[in-house]
């Protein structure tokens, strides 16, 4: 389910003068699509350049609002940057071609397939923009309309150009790839504060071992990251926390614990 793009449309810089990139980033999933001009489109054709992979839709207001900024960035860094637009429109390509012509988009645009969206974590909100370094690795992901100055700072940092910001790194715990949700120690909308460290480990293990029954085909942990509004994963994680912190869990833990040395 795509989140209403207006819900995340506030322009806000990321942490002031600090930008953040993934530590030990994963390679971006490759795809092969036909651009609207009929030319083949893949990440391989942009290798050696910084890439902004932009998932958008013609009906999404914030998506349309950021197009002029993306055009300007593509023009300014045209020799070192490649922006790629993947539209998730269900309309036929003629409607998208009309918008591309009206907006004078200067970067390739293709109709995204469901398979590509799944490869990139389902793309639950629009616009969603993935930042790739020159080696084709995803170093950041942004949902919603952002200040174009943030994108430019990230581009310049990846190109080794001067920036007025500090670069920090972080571990991907599902923010970029849902497959890494098993690294997370906290999850959206899940209160683990009343659990002991041991109980918290048990609960997190269950969140990553049990699938959500909402139909998303994700684990409970992945569903909480993908769709924090999902009432199914919210209810189930709350129940697991109650079971884990209850008397039955404490009794079972004591029975399994080795007898103290005398």
The answer to whether residue 18 sits within a structural domain is yes
Structure tokens given for 209: 């071992």
Note whether 163 and 197 are same-domain residues: no
Handedness of CA 168, 45, 122, 206 (dihedral sign): negative
Same domain, 124 and 200: no
Summarised one tens digit per residue, pLDDT across range 45-60 is 899 999 999 999 999 9
Q: Do 40 and 163 reside in the same domain of the chain?
A: yes
166 and 120, same domain (yes or no) = yes
- Tell me, yes or no, whether 111 and 219 share the same domain: no
| Euclidean distance between CA atoms 5 and 236, whole angstroms | 27
Do both 117 and 239 map to the same domain? no
pTM tops 0.75, yes or no = yes
The whole-number pLDDT of residue 161 equals 97
Query: Which CATH number does the domain housing residue 21 bear?
Result: 3.40.30.10
Residue 97 in any domain: the answer is yes
Buried b (16+ CB within 10 A) or exposed e, 29-67: bebebebbeeeebebeebeebbbbbbbbbbbbebbbebb
Tens digits of residue pLDDT in 86-107 = 999 877 889 999 999 999 999 9
Pick from 150, 170, 190: which residue ends a domain?
Answer: 170
Domain assignment of residue 142, yes or no: yes
Number of domains in the chain: 2
Give the relative orientation of helices 197-209 and 247-256 as an angle to the nearest 10 degrees.
100
Structural domain boundaries enclosing 189: 178-256
> Residue 186: inside a domain, yes or no?
yes
Same domain, 95 and 18: yes
pLDDT of residue 6: 52
Q: Is residue 262 part of a domain?
A: no
* 14 part of a folded domain: yes
Same domain, 237 and 141: no
Q: Is 261 inside any structural domain? A: no
Of the chain, the percentage scoring pLDDT greater than 90 comes to: 74
Question: Are 75 and 191 in the same domain?
Answer: no
Question: Is-contact 129 54, C-beta < 8 A?
Answer: yes
pLDDT tens, residue by residue, 157-214: 999 999 999 999 999 999 898 889 999 999 999 999 999 999 999 999 999 999 999 9
Domain end, chosen from 147, 170, 193, is at: 170
Domain boundary among 170, 190, 216: 170
β-strand pairing of 50-56 with 81-87: parallel
Q: What pLDDT is stored for residue 247 in this prediction?
A: 73
Same domain as 252, residue 158: no
For residues 99 and 211, give the distance between their C-alpha atoms in angstroms, rounded to a whole number.
40
The verdict on 96 and 224 lying in the same domain is no
> Residue 45 domain-assigned?
yes
Same structural domain for residues 120 and 36? yes
Q: Residue 13's pLDDT is what?
A: 42
Mean pLDDT of 131-141: 97
256 pLDDT exceeds 60?
Answer: no
């Amino acid at each position: 389910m795509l989140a209403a793009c207006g819900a995340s449309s506030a322009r806000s810089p990321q942490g002031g003068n600090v930008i953040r990139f993934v530590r030990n980033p994963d390679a971006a999933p490759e795809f092969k699509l036909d651009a609207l001009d009929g030319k083949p489109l893949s990440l391989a054709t942009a290798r050696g350049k910084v890439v902004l992979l932009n998932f958008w839709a013609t009906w999404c207001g914030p998506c349309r609002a950021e197009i002029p900024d993306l055009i300007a960035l593509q023009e300014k860094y045209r020799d070192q940057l490649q922006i790629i637009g993947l539209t998730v429109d269900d309309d036929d390509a003629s409607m998208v071609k009309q918008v591309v012509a009206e907006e004078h988009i200067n970067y390739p645009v293709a109709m995204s397939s469901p398979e590509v969206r799944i490869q990139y974590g389902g793309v639950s909100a629009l616009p969603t923009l993935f930042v790739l370094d020159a080696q084709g690795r995803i170093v950041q992901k942004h949902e919603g309309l952002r200040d174009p100055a943030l994108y430019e700072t990230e581009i310049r940092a990846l190109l080794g150009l001067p920036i007025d910001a500090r670069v920090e790194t972080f571990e991907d715990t599902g923010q970029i790839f849902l497959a890494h949700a098993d690294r997370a120690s906290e999850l959206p909308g899940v209160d683990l504060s009343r659990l002991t460290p041991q109980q918290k480990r048990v609960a997190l293990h269950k969140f990553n071992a049990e699938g959500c029954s909402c139909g998303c085909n994700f684990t409970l942990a992945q569903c909480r990251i993908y769709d924090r509004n999902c009432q199914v994963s919210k209810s189930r994680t709350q129940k697991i926390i109650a079971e884990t912190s209850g008397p039955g869990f404490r009794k079972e833990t004591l029975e399994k614990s080795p007898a103290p040395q005398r």
